[in-house]
Structure 1
Amino acid sequence: MKRKLKMGMVGGGIGAFIGGVHRRAATIDGQVELVCGAFSSTPEKSKASGEELYLPPERVYADYNEMILKEKELPEGERMDFVSVVTPNHMHFAPAKMALENGFPVVCDKPLAFTIEEAQELRELVHKTGLPFCITYNYTGYPMVKQAKAMIKEGKLGKIRKVVVEYPQGWLSDRLEDTEQKQASWRTDPSKAGIANCMGDIGTHAANLAEYISGLEITEMCADLTSFVGGRTLEDDGNVLLHFNNGAKGILHASQISVGEENNLNIRVYGETGGLTWHQIEPNTLIYKTPDTTQILRTAVGPISGSASLHTRTPAGHPEGYIEAFANVYLNFIYTLKAKLAGQEPAEEYLDFPDVDEGVRGMAFIKTVVEANTSEKKWYPYVKY
């Protein structure tokens, strides 16, 4: 395919955070252009957002129904090629479902849906249509995260024994939602966020990262969730013990009331012969330890895995961060979609993006951790939905 892919967007209008992230990530490699959108819950705000993005008025729609149906009528090469859904959680399912039913592949922000039942329905629809579907667990896109995954797969650590993943933030340490701050308001509202706040927003990222890097699956957990800030319905802090399917043990800590913390996602994985440590705040560095040595691995320096190299854009010493990692998720989806539109099988390396199955697993984590918190069982099974 000798043209850019055309993207339509649902949500992500004026005042939204994640919509801008998706737009920058999708277009950073020059493979995608935004051609249309239904950017807000009101036609007026959607129109204003479209004007800010310099889109033609006729490609700025009042709602996602209008966008999908009218775009479908346009000729191939002019209509959107895929839909990016960047709304709050409660609005993921309907536009994603309608897009798939009308033949459009989807990129959806996490979590996949509002309920596990909605997630399962989307999975069935994706498998039925065969359309590419991406869920943006974006931390899997960092080159050194891919390096860690490759090293574990190669057996550099031996059999995995322990996984420790932490995701502390401090931005909700007081009632920010009372200030009408948009991001805080919907995330702490059960009618928009779902059954979890902290675990649905960042805990699910931590769980996904633990499984992605280790190559293991969580099988059961012991959870302790708390809402520390008075009057807040959903939890703002969580501590979870984990069991993995190879017998490994784990700890998952996610918090939004850890005062002073910015976005301190980090992970440590220990095997029989070695260990790995990665901090998102220092994303170009991966620390590899054995009983005799400590090795500092750096993005674009020395012998790193093919996957890490493939997802590195800049020379050594030039930090690649959040947007670039997000862009790697998009880029793999983009090349997969381009191959399919050309009637070809995508290269295996480009299939390395979180798909609808991982989205369902993420929803299962949220449901399981909430149920485990109130269960009388010490170990609560992670149900495979």
Structure 2
Amino acid sequence: MKRKLRMGMVGGGIGAFIGAVHRIAAAMDGEIELVCGAFSSDPAKSKESGIMLGLPPERVYPSWWDMIEQEKQLPENVRMDFISIVTPNHVHFAPAKAALENGFHVVLDKPMTFTLAEAKELKQVVEQSGKLFCLTHTYTGYPMLKEARQVVKEGRLGKIRKVYVEYPQGWLSTLAEKTDNKQASWRTDPSRSGIAGAMGDIGTHAFNMAEYVTGAKVTELCADLNIVVEGRQLDDDGMVMLRFDNGASGMLFATQVAAGEENNVKIRVYGEKGGLEWRQEDANSLILKWPDQPAQILRTGAGYLSSYAAHNTRTPPGHPEGYLEAFANLYRNFAQSVVAMEKGATPSKESLDFPGAEDGVRGMAFVENVVRSGKSAEKWVAFEV
């Protein structure tokens, strides 16, 4: 009889936003169950969170280290199979490394780590452990972004020339970190978020989308970073010019001070034969543009889409599949790959299509190169990994 994969969680306790999103996404397809957790650095809050989630008291731990140490002592048919880490950035590396070294697979919220050096080390640990690692760059879980990747890969747009990717938000248009806004307080704090603000938080998503859809790698960049809201410690706005290894050029902008904007992440790619456009506000549609015929609108759930789009679609055409479903696709593909691997089988190519350690390293390299360029008078810098 098929069983569910058993998940342990680090972070995501009472009052946390992203922890609940991860739990919903993990549970959506009935392939994963939450069995234990260390939900807060405060043991009392962790216990309270575990009770709220209906977990047995003995499977709610005061720290992530206690969870890893005690879970590995449990019988194989009881202990967790993998750990999901949903903490602020500065608490990504240590629990992920410890989990991998103690025989557990890992799902980690982005960005991968606090620094590029940590990301490189963690990638080595992943490779040495033989365990699976998933980084939750949510937007690549959308069926129509997967279709966009296939359109480019099949050469339907011809040689790619231009890439434009953007992520405008407006929730930090004021000094929200000086209020009781928990999300604002840690995401704008260099000691917990790292050396970048908007570029580390949402710029990494845009960067990941650009490389995922085009299949090309950034080789050089030129960044202009700004702190718009007076009193803020990290960038809340920025633009980055990009050069890719296939000869294409592009532009990325990420801002959290575009008052009135929500999460309208968008990508446009242009080749010698045509272009494509996708935006989250109409996530079920992928627009293909041609110089000699009307634009085409491809829709989620349609029979003409690739196996990658079909594999990540749950409902018939016309039923919106959004952020939670895209998030769930990452968990489902990860779970299917873990199950196949544990059985000694090869996961399907569609199941293996989720962000991993290499994406994490390049994301942290993006952050550090952008900050380096932003501080440079010469501006254009080689993309160093």
Q: TM-score range by the shorter chain?
A: over 0.9
| Deviation for aligned residue 1:365 | 0.4
* 2:207 match: secondary structure: helix
| Deviation for aligned residue 1:301 | 2.1
Aligned to 1:184: 184
For residues 58-86 of structure 1, give each alpha carbon's deviation from its aligned partner in whole angstroms, at most 9, with x where no partner exists: 00000001100100011112100000000
The code of the aligned residue for 2:295 comes to: T
Aligned to 1:50: 50
TM-score of the superposed pair, with normalisation by structure 2: 0.99
Aligned to 1:73: 73
- Name which of structure 1's ranges 293-302 and 85-94 shifts more when overlaid on structure 2: 293-302
Show structure 2 runs of 5+ residues with no match: none
* Residues in 2 aligned to 1:283 and 1:160: alpha-carbon distance in whole angstroms: 22
* Residues in 2 aligned to 1:225 and 1:269: alpha-carbon distance in whole angstroms: 24
Residues 307 and 350 in structure 2, CA contact (< 8 A), matched pair in contact too = no
| Deviation for aligned residue 1:377 | 2.1
* 2:281 match: secondary structure: coil
- Name which of structure 1's ranges 337-346 and 51-60 shifts more when overlaid on structure 2: 337-346
* Residues in 2 aligned to 1:40 and 1:156: alpha-carbon distance in whole angstroms: 48
| Residue 322 (1) aligns with residue 323 (2) | yes
For residues 217-256 of structure 1, give each alpha carbon's deviation from its aligned partner in whole angstroms, at most 9, with x where no partner exists: 1111110000011111100000111001111010001000
| Deviation for aligned residue 1:302 | 4.1
| Deviation for aligned residue 1:378 | 3.4
Aligned to 1:23: 23
| Residue 150 (1) aligns with residue 147 (2) | no
* Residues in 1 aligned to 2:266 and 2:124: alpha-carbon distance in whole angstroms: 33
| Deviation for aligned residue 1:186 | 0.0
| Residue 3 (1) aligns with residue 15 (2) | no
For residues 9-59 of structure 1, give each alpha carbon's deviation from its aligned partner in whole angstroms, at most 9, with x where no partner exists: 000000001100110101100000000000001100000100110000000
* Residues in 1 aligned to 2:227 and 2:349: alpha-carbon distance in whole angstroms: 43
* 2:367 match: secondary structure: helix
* 2:223 match: secondary structure: strand
| Deviation for aligned residue 1:350 | 1.1
Task: Work out the percentage of aligned pairs sharing the same amino acid.
Answer: 62
- Name which of structure 1's ranges 271-280 and 371-380 shifts more when overlaid on structure 2: 371-380
* 1:36 match: secondary structure: strand
* 1:98 match: secondary structure: helix
Residues 269 and 277 in structure 2, CA contact (< 8 A), matched pair in contact too = yes
* Residues in 2 aligned to 1:295 and 1:358: alpha-carbon distance in whole angstroms: 31
Q: How many residues align?
A: 384
Kindly report structure 1 stretches of 4+ aligned residues shifted beyond 2 Å.
none
The code of the aligned residue for 1:9 comes to: M
The code of the aligned residue for 1:375 comes to: S
* Residues in 1 aligned to 2:269 and 2:347: alpha-carbon distance in whole angstroms: 31
* Residues in 2 aligned to 1:63 and 1:235: alpha-carbon distance in whole angstroms: 32
For residues 199-219 of structure 1, give each alpha carbon's deviation from its aligned partner in whole angstroms, at most 9, with x where no partner exists: 000000000000000111111
Pairs within 5 Å for 1:74-153: 74-153=74-153
Aligned to 1:335: 336
For residues 168-199 of structure 1, give each alpha carbon's deviation from its aligned partner in whole angstroms, at most 9, with x where no partner exists: 00000000011121000000000000000100
* 1:345 match: secondary structure: coil
Show structure 1 runs of 5+ residues with no match: none
| Deviation for aligned residue 1:140 | 0.4
- CA RMSD for the aligned pairs? 0.8
For residues 301-350 of structure 1, give each alpha carbon's deviation from its aligned partner in whole angstroms, at most 9, with x where no partner exists: 24111110111001111000000000111111111111111122222221
| Residue 355 (1) aligns with residue 356 (2) | yes
Aligned to 1:366: 367
